[in-house]
Structure 1
Amino acid sequence: MFWWGTELIRVLPQRMGMVIGEGAVFIFLLGVGAYFIHASIKKEDKLHERQQNFLLSVTHELKSPLAAIKLSLQTIVKRDLERQMQTSLLNNSLKDIERLDDLVENMLLATKIESRTYSFPKEEFDFSELVTKITDRLQIHSCGNEQLINTNIQEGLNLVGDKFALSSVVTNLVENAVKYSGPCAEVAVELCQIGGKAVLTVSDKGLGIPDEEKMLIFDKFYRIGDENVRKSKGTGLGLFIVKEVLQNHDADISVKDNVPQGAIFEVTFN
């Protein structure tokens, strides 16, 4: 191109301005095109990396409870245990099965939402009762008799929506709060009515969420921090499901900083 321009200017010096102008436009368009191609490739690389990390996370999330269930059942079969110990091992196995069930439900729901094959069947139901059942199931007593999930749930709050999908919203928010909090840290779940609207708040005392990542956390497969050093479990699907389900229910979600540390997720049903 430069050779052609040089030769044209040599033969027709009066057209030098036109050649320089057209060449500058061409170089500019070439640079813009190269920039967008580079950005697209970089975006694809990040998505591919997240998908790879997702597969690794799912494998780990599946293997851990399966190994625990297998060990518990083998212990019951091979040893003559007291009734109380057998009951304890079986209860632990049931919790691991529930964990597997939540993981599978998340994956199925995320797939259906993304492919637009999920219809979100809506009905009127007691949302207060749903939140109470979920928090009771996720309650952890790993610190003696201390209650880690503190609830303040106003009774009798009804919603018209997809009960199954909204149960996934509550489960993911509470599980995330427990997951990203420190050992024995308190998690607060509050449901109340403000201005005629149901408001669900889930607060934790973990490390919090940087401002630049507060909106990114709702992207599919996105997880906070470096994948190579992250210790917390997860697939990066939970908050993606939360966002998609709430959008379908005309509900808003906001992420705020907790004081002195942690994060607050607030859902408002319009």
Structure 2
Amino acid sequence: MDDRVTDMTKFFRRRSTLHLPITLSACLIALNVTLMVCWIIVLARGAQWTALTVGVLAFTLALAGMIVWLVLTIKEIRLNNRQANFVDSVTHELKSPIAALQLYLQTLRMRNLDAERREEFHATMEAELHRLDQLINQLLEVGRLDAIGQNEMPEDVDIPRLIAECADGAALHHQVRVADTFEFDLAPVAVHTQQIVVRMILSNLLDNAVKYGGEPPKVHVSLQLNGTRARLRITNNGASVPFDDRKKIFRIFYRGGNELQRTRKGTGLGLYIVHTLVRRLKGWIHVTDRLDGKPGCTFEADIPDARPLTPAAETAPSPPRAPAEVRR
């Protein structure tokens, strides 16, 4: 199986470059313009206005066709490169936890470890299984985004409670403590929609904030109610997102750079899922630099159909400012 995965990875790593299509298109466009100018000069001297008009229209259509071909080719190459990066990242993300689990199981089988050491191994194996489960769920979710939540009735979703639960999951995934990583400023807000949709938005945003945070990661989560809209801000202490990438990061497979040279783990699916589901709720999301000027970035999402959280809408007691800690 490893050989098949490796062969598939090598096949998809044949990334195309933009140099050839851009150079070829520039030459064809220049040739087309030159021929059109010569055509106009020759026919204008002979006062052949009908032929001149037809020729100019033909050359214009040819020029427009070349430009459209160039744009479509560039888009296709960029999509191909993003798909190649995606295959590389998924291959790595699938093989890494499996290899780690095999190593820990072999160690547990071959050595007589003390209870503390065995507990440490079990915790690490649990985290690797959680990581693998999260990746598989993410891959499945992308294929059924349009159908997610369609079989559920809308309800008043307790946003602070979901934030606490998703923060626990992100902390477990990245082996950090919730109390050391997260700060919360959460107003009691509910959104009338399907719970699974909001859970997927929050889990992907919080996981992304921890993943791309500093060393150690620090994440501040605020939730406010503005009229009938919920305003969510998630700020971390990592690197800021370059201005040119602030829209691209919400595209499917997009992670920026070359997957073979990247150190951060991921598939380029999380923010695409977030963007798609937020838009489905008729909201918006964008990323900016931190307002305090410190290193990091802020993801800000605005979701409609929000209201104050009432006791009848709560399915659990309101969470404290910091959720329960996650074991290392």
TM-score (ref. length: structure 2): 0.72
For structure 1, list consecutive stretches of 5 or more residues without a partner in the other structure: none
Amino acid at match of 1:150: E
- Pick the aligned partner of 1:172 from 204, 218, 228: 204
Q: Distance in 1 between matches of 2:251 and 2:47?
A: 53
Which residue is 2:122 aligned to?
A: 90
Q: Distance in 2 between matches of 1:165 and 1:88?
A: 34
Pairwise CA RMSD: 2.6
How many residues end up aligned between the 2 structures?
A: 260
8 Å contact from structure 2 (residues 148, 197) kept in 1:
no
Which deviates further from its counterpart, 226-235 or 56-65? 226-235
Q: Which has the higher contact order (CA 8 A, sep 6+)?
A: 2
Q: Distance in 1 between matches of 2:165 and 2:148?
A: 24
SS in 2 for 1:160: strand
8 Å contact from structure 1 (residues 139, 149) kept in 2:
no
Amino acid at match of 1:148: T
Query: For the structure 1 residues 166 and 42, does the alpha-carbon distance in structure 2 shift closer, same or farther, using more than 3 Å as the test?
Result: same
Which residue is 1:268 aligned to?
A: 302
Is residue 2:179 matched to residue 1:150? no
1:110 Cα offset (Å): 0.8
Q: Distance in 2 between matches of 1:146 and 1:109?
A: 29
Is residue 2:270 matched to residue 1:238? yes
Which residue is 2:91 aligned to?
A: 59
- Give the 4+ runs in structure 1 shifted more than 6 A: 140-146
1:119 Cα offset (Å): 4.6
SS in 1 for 2:191: strand
Is residue 2:168 matched to residue 1:136? yes
Query: For the structure 1 residues 192 and 144, does the alpha-carbon distance in structure 2 shift closer, same or farther, using more than 3 Å as the test?
Result: closer
8 Å contact from structure 1 (residues 255, 263) kept in 2:
yes
Q: Percent identity?
A: 29
Q: Deviations over 1:193-226 (max 9, x none)?
A: 3445332211112221122221111111111334
Is residue 2:195 matched to residue 1:163? yes
Q: Distance in 2 between matches of 1:227 and 1:76?
A: 33
Q: How does 1:1-270 map to 2 (within 5 A)?
A: 16-113=48-145, 116-120=146-150, 121=152, 122-139=154-171, 147-154=180-187, 156-258=188-290, 259-270=293-304
1:76 Cα offset (Å): 1.5
8 Å contact from structure 1 (residues 201, 266) kept in 2:
yes
Q: Distance in 1 between matches of 2:87 and 2:169?
A: 27
